[in-house]
């Protein structure tokens, strides 16, 4: 756990963001305490506190006096929006660039998307609602 190249507190913050994004940590849910984080992952409590500070500054979690840390209202939506924007620039565009490089026509990409990766009824409905 937390063996990546970034400082541990950044990795902890990333992990909590990913849990909010996936819905494992729903809005209003309580986040593990500094103490629980420290003892579960055998890290200095100040390291965990630093990660929480980062997420509080971003407005993703909030401290409720005497109760602990909770996922803020709207945190899931905000992360979704940010990740959608990043997805197009960081994932989709490089994939298309690579296709261009390989001489795969755009029409092939579109056909692949509609024929081989058809949207599930759920994601299609979500797409229309948007």
Partner 1 sequence: MTTPYGAELSDVTVRYGRGRDAALDGASFTVRPGTITGLLGRNGAGKSTALALLASFRRPTSGTVRVDGADPFENAAVMAGVQLVRESGDVVGDSPVNDTIGYYSGVRPLWDADYAKALLDQFGIDPRKTPDALSRGKQSALGCIIGLASRAPLTIFDESYLGMDAPSRYAFYDALLEDYTQHPRTIIVSSHLIDEVERLFEDVIVLHRGRTVVSETADALRDRAVSLVGPTSAVSKLADGRHTLATRSLGGTTQLTLEGALDPEDVARARDAGVEVGRVSVQDLFIHLTQEPETLKEDAR
| Footprint of partner 1 (CB under 8 A) | 5-9, 34-35, 38-39, 41-47
Nearer to partner 1, 37 or 76 (CB): 37
DSSP string, 79-119: HHHHHHHHHIIIIIHHHHHHHHHHT--HHHHHHIIIIISPP
Residue closer to partner 1, measured from CB, 91 or 124: 91
CB closer to partner 1 out of 11 and 61:
11
CB of 32 to partner 1, least distance (A): 12
For the CB of residue 41, give the shortest distance to partner 1 in the complex, in Å. Answer: 8
Least distance in Å: CB of 65 to partner 1? Answer: 18
| Backbone φ/ψ region at 59: left (φ over 0), alpha (ψ -120 to 50), beta | left
Q: How far is the CB of 127 from partner 1 (least distance, A)?
A: 32
Q: Which CB, 16 or 34, lies closer to partner 1?
A: 34
CA-CA-CA-CA torsion for 65, 66, 69, 75, nearest 10 degrees?
-40
List strands edge to edge, sheet with 30-31. Answer: 30-31, 68-71, 61-64
- Bridge partners of 68? 64
Distance (Å, whole) CA 46 – CA 101: 48
């Amino acid at each position: 756990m937390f063996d990546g190249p970034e400082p541990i507190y950044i990795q902890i913050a990333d992990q909590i963001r990913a849990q909010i994004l996936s819905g494992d940590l729903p809005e209003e849910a309580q986040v593990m305490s500094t103490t629980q984080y420290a003892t579960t992952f055998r890290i200095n409590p100040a390291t965990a506190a630093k990660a929480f500070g980062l997420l509080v500054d971003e407005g993703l979690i909030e401290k409720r006096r005497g109760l602990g840390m909770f996922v803020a209202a709207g945190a899931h939506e905000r992360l979704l929006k940010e990740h959608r924007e990043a997805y197009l620039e960081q994932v989709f565009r490089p994939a298309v660039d690579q296709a261009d490089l390989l001489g795969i026509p755009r029409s092939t990409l579109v056909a692949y998307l509609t024929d081989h990766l058809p949207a599930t009824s759920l994601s299609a409905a979500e797409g229309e609602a948007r």
